[in-house]
Amino acid sequence: MNADVIIPLLVYLAGMAAIGLWAYGRRRRAAAGEKTAQYYLGGRSLGWVVLVFTLLASAASAGTFIGGPGLGYSGGYGWILVSMFQVPTAFVVFGLLGKKFAILSRKLRIVTVTGFLRHRYDHPAVAILASIGIVGFLLAYMVAQFVGGARILEAITGVPYSVLIVVFAAVVTLYTGFGGFLADAISDTVQGLIMLVGGVALWVAVLSVTGGLGEVGTTLQQDHPGLLLLPGPDGFTAQMIASYSAQLGLLFCAVPHLTVRAMAYRDSRAMHTAMAVGPLLMCVITLGFLVMGPVARLFYPDLAVGDLAVPRMIVDVLPGPVAGALLAAPLAAVMSTVDSMILIVSATIVRDLFVEYVRPTTSDEGVSRAGTAVSIGLGTVVLLLALDPPAYLEYLIIFAIGGLEAVFFVPLVLGLYWRRGNTLGAILAMVGGMSWYVVATQWVEAMAFGVFPIIPATVVSLLLYAAGSVLGRPPSREVLVKFWGTTAEIERLTPADRIPVGR
């Protein structure tokens, strides 16, 4: 155990707790009637700095800091290339959902993705399918993130796994539970800065030790030539490379904990600046950490577990306190992803299931309080699952991100921009996209057509959506006015407008 490394980590955790307390204070002072939006969306007040970092930190999960460099170590440069497709994330998430999404969520007081779909398609089946997808996939994903992060830190610091899990879960749960979205967003910003500065510091340190990367190329060519090749050992054909871009770039805007960030900015100026600087920041973070994967081969030619290469290099190359601060980066990545997911699942359970179907009369204050209780409960569930990970966990993770994209992308984006999109189309698209994705991933490889299964699954979802929308009943006048009309028109709506057209 190494005190030099552990002390900066403890300082970092204390800082996160302080941010939670501060955000809790802000939330208690929020105006009556705005408490739910304050808890789940930070009162839609984010400026560009917080906006861009909260998006990037939530998107760059443990994958960028542990899994990614680990794959670079074991599978080579192809993995880094495909990871670069997460660079446009900020541009895509904010620009594709766009100002329309932000304006609609204000007009209709929507705070969740499910809320959006419920308004647009006006059917309980859509809302319930969406809620099940969010709760199931994100819960599994959170547990995996915790387990991954804690195992790495255990190997590096020597602190027992169970202690690490309990400390992580306690800190994340407390600041998210009490501080809500604002604590989540501000801590993401701190975490994002740590990742950025950490990435640069690691480069400087490694370059000063190795005296340049020229040696990396020649060493790899001699000892591990496969890492330099396309397709290489992990099969990066041209169509596989491009299909990673769909999963990590375009479709990423439909992953719910990123989608809600497109409701949370203060004004279009904040959104524009976040879109302009986001790609460059993500580029630096991704390249900075992932390139270290192959570079680590110089220091450790043959590790069995590639994931350990970069954390170990951090400890060996950098002086103790700096290493500790840098190890906070993967920890930060885990925490910033998990905190945003806890909030989404909490919002889904409280806002989309409890308030909608159990007690519609719950007050704004009540929803906000229930949010805290459910968030803390979720943190506890994740903690218990992570202490003793269930066997089927791995199985669910494979599906998590792709599954969410297959369920949400088409109903979300087409619902936003295509008037004819209707309830039948949405249900078919969600069920069809999900089923195709699972079957193609798990059982029938031919259904993937030699690319990532998410691509054919999205195409199927798109076709089903179009078919359902053309053949089924068009949306009611109410839905059209709510999603295309001015506020004055929305206020003039009468119950008669709910009756579907074409009857």
Partner 1 sequence: MSTRLLSRLPDDFEEDPRYRVSVREAWIVVAYWVAFTVVLTAVAWGLGGGRSADEITFVLGFPTWFFWSAIVAAVALSIVPVFLVRGFFTEVSLAVDPGATPADDARRAEPSGDETNGERA
Ordered alpha helix ranges (H), 300-392? 309-317, 320-347, 364-387
Closest to partner 1 by CB, 217 or 389: 217
Q: Which stretch binds partner 1 (CB under 8 A): 58-66, 150-158, 263-271, 445-453?
A: 263-271
Closest to partner 1 by CB, 106 or 151: 106
Figure out which of the listed residues 163, 420, 444, 450 binds partner 1, where binding follows CB under 8 A.
420
The residue among 230, 267, 251, 223 whose CA lies nearest residue 88 is: 251
The residue among 343, 339, 379, 344 whose CA lies nearest residue 16 is: 339
- CA atoms of 424 and 414, how far apart (whole Å): 13
What value does the CA radius of gyration of the chain take, rounded to a whole number of Å? Answer: 23
* Subset of residues 59 to 88 that bind partner 1, contact rule: CB under 8 A: 77, 80-81, 84-85, 87-88
- CA atoms of 319 and 374, how far apart (whole Å): 41
Nearest-approach distance from CB 85 to partner 1, in angstroms = 7
Figure out which of the listed residues 254, 355, 454, 464 binds partner 1, where binding follows CB under 8 A.
355
Joined together, the tokens standing for residue 497 give: 């407008």
Figure out which of the listed residues 14, 124, 200, 269 binds partner 1, where binding follows CB under 8 A.
269
* Subset of residues 272 to 331 that bind partner 1, contact rule: CB under 8 A: 272-273, 275-280, 282-283, 287, 291
Q: Draw the binding track, 103-122, toward partner 1 (x: CB under 8 A; -: no contact).
A: x--xxxxx----x---x---
DSSP 8-state assignment for residue 495: G
* Subset of residues 166 to 205 that bind partner 1, contact rule: CB under 8 A: none
- Per CB under 8 A, 367 contacts partner 1: yes
Nearest-approach distance from CB 316 to partner 1, in angstroms = 20
Q: 430 vs 38, 140, 240, 397, 415, CA distance in Å?
A: 30, 20, 24, 19, 12
- CA atoms of 99 and 474, how far apart (whole Å): 25
Closest to partner 1 by CB, 243 or 340: 243
Figure out which of the listed residues 102, 182, 308, 426 binds partner 1, where binding follows CB under 8 A.
102
* Subset of residues 464 to 483 that bind partner 1, contact rule: CB under 8 A: 470-475, 477, 480-481
What are the backbone angles phi and psi of residue 30, rounded to the nearest 5°? Answer: -65, 145
- CA atoms of 328 and 153, how far apart (whole Å): 10
* Subset of residues 21 to 50 that bind partner 1, contact rule: CB under 8 A: 32-33, 36
The residue among 207, 255, 233 whose CA lies nearest residue 401 is: 255
Q: Which stretch binds partner 1 (CB under 8 A): 90-98, 150-158, 315-323, 336-344?
A: 90-98
Figure out which of the listed residues 162, 208, 442, 486 binds partner 1, where binding follows CB under 8 A.
486
Figure out which of the listed residues 98, 148, 177, 330 binds partner 1, where binding follows CB under 8 A.
98
- Per CB under 8 A, 361 contacts partner 1: yes
Nearest-approach distance from CB 31 to partner 1, in angstroms = 10
Long-range contact set of residues 202-210: C-beta below 8 Å, sequence gap at least 24? 202/288, 202/289, 202/292, 202/313, 202/314, 202/317, 202/318, 202/326, 203/288, 205/317, 205/318, 205/322, 206/292, 206/295, 206/313, 206/317, 209/317, 210/295, 210/298
Nearest-approach distance from CB 282 to partner 1, in angstroms = 7
* Subset of residues 198 to 257 that bind partner 1, contact rule: CB under 8 A: 212-218, 221, 225-226, 228-231, 237-238, 241-242, 245-246, 249-250
Closest to partner 1 by CB, 18 or 241: 241
Nearest-approach distance from CB 210 to partner 1, in angstroms = 9
Nearest-approach distance from CB 169 to partner 1, in angstroms = 29
**What sign does the dihedral 97-100-102-107 (CA atoms) show?**
negative
Nearest-approach distance from CB 166 to partner 1, in angstroms = 34
Residues 6+ apart with CB under 8 A from 305: 70
Q: Which stretch binds partner 1 (CB under 8 A): 94-102, 148-156, 308-316, 395-403?
A: 94-102
Figure out which of the listed residues 443, 488, 494, 496 binds partner 1, where binding follows CB under 8 A.
488
Closest to partner 1 by CB, 107 or 151: 107
- Per CB under 8 A, 403 contacts partner 1: no
Q: Is the distance from CB of 122 to CB of 476 less than 8 angstroms?
A: yes
- CA atoms of 312 and 325, how far apart (whole Å): 14
Figure out which of the listed residues 13, 50, 57, 92 binds partner 1, where binding follows CB under 8 A.
92
